[in-house]
Amino acid sequence: MKIMEAVDGIKDKLMEIRADFHNHPELSFKEERTSQIVAEALREMGLDEVDTGIAKTGVVGLLRGGAPGKTFALRADMDALPIQEENDVPYKSQNDGVMHACGHDVHTTAVLGAAMILASMRDKLKGNVKFIFQPAEEVAGGAKIMVEEGVLEKPPKVDAIIGAHVWPELDAGTIGVKAGPSMAAMDKFEIVVTGPGGHGAKPHLTSDPVVAAAQIINALQTIVSRSIDPIRSAVLSVCMIQGGHAFNIIPREVRMVGTVRTLNEDVKTMLIAKVKSILKGISEAMGVEYEFNYLDGSPALVNDPGMIELVEKAGAAIVGSENIHQLEPSMGGEDFTYFVKAVPGAMFNVGSRDEKAGLTSQLHRPTFDVNAKTLTTGVAMLCQTALMYLDA
Ligand code: NI
Q: Based on the number of CB atoms within 10 Å of its own CB, is 376 exposed (0-12), middle (13-18) or buried (19 or more)?
A: buried
CA 58, CA 35: separation in Å to the nearest integer?
7
Annotated catalytic residue 137 = yes
Ligand 1 centroid, distance to 337 Cα (angstroms): 13
Backbone angles phi, psi at 276, to 5 degrees: -60, -40
* CB contact at 8 A, 193 and 207: no
The reply to whether omega before 90 is within 30° of 0 (cis) is: no
What pTM value is reported for the model? 0.89
Query: What does the alpha-carbon distance between residue 324 and residue 348 come to, in Å, rounded to a whole number?
Result: 10
The Cβ of residue 357 has, within 10 Å, a number of other Cβ atoms equal to 12
For the domain bounded by 185-295, which CATH number is listed?
Answer: 3.30.70.360
Domain boundaries, the chain: 3-184+301-391, 185-295
Q: Which of 77, 137, 312, 335 is catalytic?
A: 137
Task: Considering the candidates 26, 31, 77, 79, report the single residue annotated as catalytic.
Answer: 79
| Closest listed residue to residue 105, CA positions, set 133, 131, 77, 81 | 77
Q: What class is the 3-184+301-391 domain?
A: alpha beta
* Residue 103 Cα to ligand 1 middle (Å): 6
pLDDT tens track of the chain, all 392 residues? 589 999 999 999 999 999 999 999 999 999 999 999 999 999 999 999 999 999 999 999 999 999 999 999 999 999 999 999 999 999 999 999 999 999 999 999 999 999 999 999 999 999 999 999 999 999 878 999 999 999 999 999 999 999 999 999 999 999 999 999 999 999 999 999 999 999 999 999 999 999 999 999 999 999 999 999 999 999 999 999 999 999 999 999 999 999 999 999 999 999 999 999 999 999 999 999 999 999 999 899 999 999 999 999 999 999 999 999 999 999 988 999 999 999 999 999 999 999 999 999 999 999 999 999 999 999 999 999 999 999 97
Say how many Å lie between the CA of residue 204 and the centre of ligand 1: 50
Q: How far is residue 252's CA from residue 312's CA, in Å, rounded to a whole number?
A: 57
Based on the residue annotation, tell me whether 171 is a catalytic residue of this protein: no
Q: How far away, in angstroms, is 271 Cα from ligand 1 center? A: 26
